[in-house]
Structure 1
């Protein structure tokens, strides 16, 4: 089974199965990191996170504005190994 490495804030690394049904936000939380969020549906943008490297795909097109270089973890999953900077 294919999996992707998720590096969070240069230290926390976790593996995510390519076909995992969980969002990146749920992966961040499972790694023990407290995450900002409100809607979990891509509407509010509260979970906005900086994507340092790699690619994600959106399971639902976000309605909140997403700046270049940022992602909304509540509605995306890794599609390659990724590194994120999460506050």
Structure 2
């Protein structure tokens, strides 16, 4: 029987492992795991949650308007498409 669980593993540098359901933003998964992350808007407007993506792939559910570098993501408006390794600003 095939499992419908599409949760993915997120390795958060200096914090530990977090499990992210495929239909949940990375920000929501981090919050559920009690990872302290700064944010304001939850829609990709402000860039406050800007996070380094060290490994893996994400998909944006809302096009971000905030400026991000090629090696950064906005966890508030994206979901994990593969296992990830990220560095959250402390």
* TM superposition score normalised by structure 1: 0.89
1:62 aligned partner: 64
Alpha-carbon distance, 1:58 to partner: 0.2
Query: 1:17 aligns to what?
Result: 21
Q: Deviations over 1:32-78 (max 9, x none)?
A: 11110011110000000000000000000000111110000000000
Query: Over the residues paired in the alignment, what is the CA RMSD in angstroms?
Result: 1.2
Deviation at 1:15, TM superposition (A): 2.0
Q: How many aligned residue pairs are there?
A: 85
Structure number with bigger Rg:
2
Alignment match, 2:85 = 83
Which consecutive residues of structure 2, in runs of 5 or more, have no partner in the other structure? none
Listed as ranges, the gaps of 5+ residues in structure 1 are none
Measured in 2, the distance between the counterparts of 1:43 and 1:71 equals: 12
2:7 is aligned, of 3, 24, 36, to: 3
Residue in structure 1 matching 2:47, options 39, 45, 48: 45
Q: Contact conserved, 1:12 with 1:31, CA < 8 A, in 2?
A: no
Distance 2:75 2:18 in 1: 15
Q: What TM-score results when the alignment is normalised by the length of structure 2? A: 0.87
| C-alpha deviation, 1:3, in angstroms | 2.4
What is the rounded CA distance, in whole Å, between the counterparts of 1:16 and 1:28 in structure 2?
Answer: 8
